[in-house]
Amino acid sequence: MTAPALPATTVAGLARGLAAGRWSSVELTQAYLARVTASQSELNAFVTVTAEAALAAAAAADAARAAGKASALTGVPIAHKDIFCTRDVLTTCGSKMLANFVSPYDATVVSKLAAAGTVNLGKLNMDEFAMGSSNETSFFGPVRNPWDIKRVPGGSSGGSAAAVAARIAPAATATDTGGSIRQPAALCGVTGIKPTYGRVSRYGMIAFASSLDQAGLITVSAEDAAMLLGAMSGFDPRDSTSVDREVPDYVAALDAPLAGLKIGLVREFFEKGLDAQCEQRIREAIAVYEKLGASVREVSCPNLPLSVPTYYVVAPAECSSNLARFDGVRFGHRCESPRNLNDLYSRSRGEGFGAEVKRRIMTGTYVLSAGYYDAYYIKAQRVRQLISADFARAFESVDLLLGPTSPTTAFEIGAKVDDPITMYLNDIYTIGANLAGLPGMSIPVGFADGLPVGLQLVGPHFSEARMLNAAHRYQLETDWHLRVPAAYA
C-alpha cells in the first residue's frame, strides 16, 4: 500500500506538534483517514470510518486550541474498538447480531476521551463479541497482521493492534477478558495495557464475561498509554463495578528510576510450550531490566497452569448469561417470519451469532445447568480463588511479575480456526491476570523470524503507574516499540 507519510507516530509526539503549532488536528486527521482508507483492503482493521464526524471534531479541537482551551490530548486522533457504544454510530461488536445497531448513547470511555479532546477516526474490527484470539471470528472478516498479512493480528482486539502497528491510528481503545489487549499487542509489536478490574468504566462496553472484562488501550508507547489512561480512568456511577479511587498522574510517574524494583519471573510461564526464540527475547529484556537496577528473582504460582480450564468454565458461563439479552425483540438481528416467540428467539440467535459465540454460549449453558453447576462452575470459582491467592503470595516478595505475553509469534490465518482448544491456549499466560483482576501490560521486546515478540508485566491491583513506569524505562533503552512494518513506514 502507499499511504501519506506522518509527521510523528506517537500520541506524545503528535500532541507536542499540536501544542507547538507545527500541524493542526485537521491536518493530522486527514493524514490518518487517508492511511485508514489506503490500508483497509489489505488489513480490514476498521468496521466503520467516521470521517465526517472526525473532521468536524478535529476542526473543533483546532478552534479550542486557538481559543487557548487545549489540554494535552486536544486534537489527537484515536479509534475505538467496536465494542464501545458510540452515539449515532454503528456499533457491531464484530457480530451479525449487531450489524444494524446504531448506538443511542456513548460508552463512558468514548465520552471521557472525547471530553479530553481526542478525535475518533472510527470503529475497529474485533473478534465477534470479543470471543477469539485471532480476529478470525469477526462477522466482518479477519483483520490481517501488518507485519505479515498472511498472519493473524491476535484477538480479540485485533483491529486495535493492527491499526496501531500500521500507524493508521495513533492509539486505540481495546478490551481484555482473557488477554484480548495483551496478546494482539504482542503479536503486532505494540504496547497494550489492561488496567485493574474496575479502574476504567465499562458503561456502554458490550459485556462478554462481567467478572473479567476490562477496558484498556493499545498504543505505540507506554508514555502514550499513560496519557490516555489518565483521561479514560475514574469512578463512574453508571458502572456498579467501577472503583471509587483517585486516578494517579500516570505521566508524572513515568520517569521514576527502577533501582530497587523487585521483578518476579513466574516459573510456570517458562516451563513448557514457550517458543525458544520468544524465550530468548524475554531473557534479553530481563537483562535490560537488570541493567536498569531492577532485581530479578524466580517466583512460583503453582495453580497458574489451571487458569485456561478455569477461564473456559467461568467466561462461557458469564457469556451465556450476558448474551441472553440478544433476543431479536428490542434491538439486533431478527429472523424472517417467526412462527412463534420461541422460534423468534431461537432463529434470531441461531442466525445472528457466529460459530464460536454459539460454542461459548452452549458451553456456558451446560456448565450452569442443573446437575453440572457444582462440578464445573463452583469448582472453577474455587480454583480461581487458588490462582488469585498465588498472585497475592507472589506480590508479598516482588513488585511486578514478568514473563512472555504469548507462547508464539503470530500464526497463519486459518491455522488454528478448527481447533478451539489450541486456539484457547494462546491466552495461557494472560488469563491469570483477568481471573485475579490484576493489571497487565504487553510491550514489544524484539522479533523472532521477523515477527514481533511481546513481554508481559503483571502488577498488584492498582499498580498501573508502576507498570507504565517500568515499561517506559525499558522503552527509553530500546526502540522495538518504534519499529514499523516496512509496508506502512
Partner 1 sequence: MSLTRKDIENIARLARLELAETEIPVYVDSLSKILDFVGELERAPTDGITPMAHPMPGLAQRLRADEVTETDAHQRYQRNAPQVEAGLYLVPKVIE
Q: Which stretch binds partner 1 (CB under 8 A): 4-12, 68-76, 129-137, 434-442?
A: 434-442
Closer by beta carbon to partner 1, 240 or else 280: 240
Shortest Cβ distance from residue 210 to partner 1 (Å)? Answer: 9
**Which cell is 190 given?**
505494540
Shortest Cβ distance from residue 272 to partner 1 (Å)? Answer: 15
Decide if 165 contacts 72 (C-beta within 8 A). no
Residues within window 352-391 making contact with partner 1, judged by CB under 8 A: 353, 355, 358-359, 361-363, 365-367, 369, 375-376, 378-386, 388
Looking at the chain, how many residues does it have? 489
Which residue from 15, 47, 130, 212 is in contact with partner 1, where contact means CB under 8 A? Answer: 212
Largest Cα–Cα separation, the chain: 70
Residue 347 interacting with partner 1 (CB under 8 A) = yes
Residue 458 interacting with partner 1 (CB under 8 A) = no
Shortest Cβ distance from residue 314 to partner 1 (Å)? Answer: 9
Closest CA to 345 of 355, 353, 335, 357: 335
Closer by beta carbon to partner 1, 153 or else 328: 328
Which residue from 435, 455, 457, 468 is in contact with partner 1, where contact means CB under 8 A? Answer: 435
Closer by beta carbon to partner 1, 96 or else 358: 358
Shortest Cβ distance from residue 479 to partner 1 (Å)? Answer: 35
Residues within window 107-126 making contact with partner 1, judged by CB under 8 A: none
* Phi and psi at residue 463, to the nearest 5°: -105, 25
Which residue from 22, 100, 150, 450 is in contact with partner 1, where contact means CB under 8 A? Answer: 100
Computed from CA positions of residues 454, 118, 434, 469, in that sequence, does the dihedral angle turn out positive or negative? positive
Contacts of 150 (CB under 8 A, 6+ apart): 144, 412, 413
Among 156, 221, 233, 307, the one annotated catalytic = 156
Closer by beta carbon to partner 1, 66 or else 375: 375
β 440-448/262-266 pair status: unpaired
Closer by beta carbon to partner 1, 136 or else 223: 136
Among 103, 180, 307, 406, the one annotated catalytic = 180
Shortest Cβ distance from residue 400 to partner 1 (Å)? Answer: 18
Which residue from 63, 66, 102, 482 is in contact with partner 1, where contact means CB under 8 A? Answer: 102
Write a three-state SS string for the chain: CCCCCCCCCCHHHHHHHHHCCCCCHHHHHHHHHHHHHHHHHHHCCEEEECHHHHHHHHHHHHHHHHCCCCCCCCCCEEEEECCECCCCCECCCCCHHHCCCECCCCCHHHHHHHHCCCEEEEEECCCHHHCCCCCCCCCCCCCCECCECCECCCCCCHHHHHHHHCCCCCEEEEEECCCCCHHHHHHHCCEEEECCCCCECCCCECCCCCCCCEEEEEECCHHHHHHHHHHHECCCCCCCCCCCCCCCCCCCCCCCCCCCCEEEEEHHHCCCCCCHHHHHHHHHHHHHHHHCCCEEEEECCCCHHHHHHHHHHHHHHHHHHHHHHCCCCCCCCCCCCCCCHHHHHHHHHHHHCCHHHHHHHHHHHHHCCCCCHHHHHHHHHHHHHHHHHHHHHHCCCCCEEEEECCCCCCCECCCCCCCHHHHHHHHCCCHHHHHHCCCEEEEEEEEECCEEEEEEEECCCCCHHHHHHHHHHHHHHCCHHHCCCHHHC
Residue 241 interacting with partner 1 (CB under 8 A) = yes
Which residue from 240, 293, 297, 482 is in contact with partner 1, where contact means CB under 8 A? Answer: 240
Shortest Cβ distance from residue 100 to partner 1 (Å)? Answer: 8
Shortest Cβ distance from residue 485 to partner 1 (Å)? Answer: 34
Which residue from 96, 262, 334, 483 is in contact with partner 1, where contact means CB under 8 A? Answer: 334
Instruction: State the CB neighbour count (10 A cutoff) for residue 300.
Output: 14
Residue 329 interacting with partner 1 (CB under 8 A) = yes
Decide if 116 contacts 75 (C-beta within 8 A). no
Among 81, 112, 123, 416, the one annotated catalytic = 81
Residue indicated by cell numbers 458502572 = 239
Closer by beta carbon to partner 1, 128 or else 223: 128
Shortest Cβ distance from residue 458 to partner 1 (Å)? Answer: 13
Residue 448 interacting with partner 1 (CB under 8 A) = no
Residues 34-73: x where in contact with partner 1 by CB under 8 A, - otherwise, as a string: ----------------------------------------
Shortest Cβ distance from residue 197 to partner 1 (Å)? Answer: 5
Closer by beta carbon to partner 1, 113 or else 313: 313
Residue 436 interacting with partner 1 (CB under 8 A) = yes
Q: Which stretch binds partner 1 (CB under 8 A): 48-56, 287-295, 417-425, 446-454?
A: 417-425
233 is catalytic: no
Residue 303 interacting with partner 1 (CB under 8 A) = yes
156 is catalytic: yes
Residue 414 interacting with partner 1 (CB under 8 A) = no
Which residue from 1, 331, 448, 483 is in contact with partner 1, where contact means CB under 8 A? Answer: 331
Total residues in contact with partner 1, by rule CB under 8 A: 72
Residues within window 160-179 making contact with partner 1, judged by CB under 8 A: none
Residues with a known catalytic role: 81, 156, 180
